[in-house]
Homo-oligomer: A and B are copies of this chain.
Amino acid sequence: MIDLDDIDRQLIRALCEDATQSAGALGRAFGLSQPATWRRIKRLREAGVFGARRVDLDLEALGFGVTVFLGVKLATKGRVSLDDFERAVRAIPEVQTVQHVLGLFDYRLRVVAQDLPDFERVLRRRIMTLPGVGNVEANVVLSEETLPGPL
């Protein structure tokens, strides 16, 4: 685990919001020269602070107007059924995220669909037929806001 000063934290926050910004632009924003900023970013990168550089998709623009979070409780959950379940879930195109969780449910799935009828199709034909599913709880996402986080 690396230790960060104040500028490091600001750099990280800025890059999380917009990874397009160059070392030069970030440096100007914080009163640092371009090479100094670049060295800091390199240091952070080598410390493993950063993962992949992704581009967000506007799912609405692509015709996916509905996002739903599902909680799934397995009926039977031996080691085999966990693997079976995960394998089957990964094969569903509409599933964006699979979280194995502890608590009232065993898995949380982020699912997208074109609209509610389309979601019903996914739910009935894809989700409910997964091996070992017990209870399923659904939360339709109305709005989502990403915050800066704890840095």
Q: How far is the CA of A142 from the CA of B102 in the complex (A)?
A: 7
Nearest Cβ in chain B — how far from A20, in angstroms? 5
Q: Assess whether A139 is in contact with B105, with CB atoms less than 8 Å apart.
A: yes
Q: Given A96-B146, A139-B102, A149-B93, is A58 in contact with B48 using a C-beta cutoff of 8 Å?
A: yes
Interface: A30 (CB within 8 A):
no
Q: Given A19-B53, A55-B16, is A137 in contact with B103 using a C-beta cutoff of 8 Å?
A: yes
Q: How far is the CA of A138 from the CA of B137 in the complex (A)?
A: 14
Question: In chain B, what residue has the closest Cβ to A111?
Answer: B150
Contact residues in B for A78 (Cβ distance below 8 Å): none
A: interface residue count bin? 35 or more
> Which of chain A's residues 1-17 have a Cβ closer than 8 Å to chain B?
1-2, 4, 12, 15-17
Q: Assess whether B12 is in contact with A147, with CB atoms less than 8 Å apart.
A: no
Contact residues in B for A51 (Cβ distance below 8 Å): 55-58
Interchain residue pairs with CB less than 8 A apart (30)? A1-B63, A2-B61, A2-B62, A12-B57, A17-B52, A17-B54, A18-B54, A19-B53, A48-B58, A48-B61, A49-B57, A49-B61, A50-B55, A53-B55, A53-B56, A57-B149, A93-B148, A93-B150, A96-B146, A96-B147, A96-B150, A97-B144, A97-B147, A98-B145, A99-B141, A100-B142, A101-B140, A102-B139, A102-B141, A105-B139
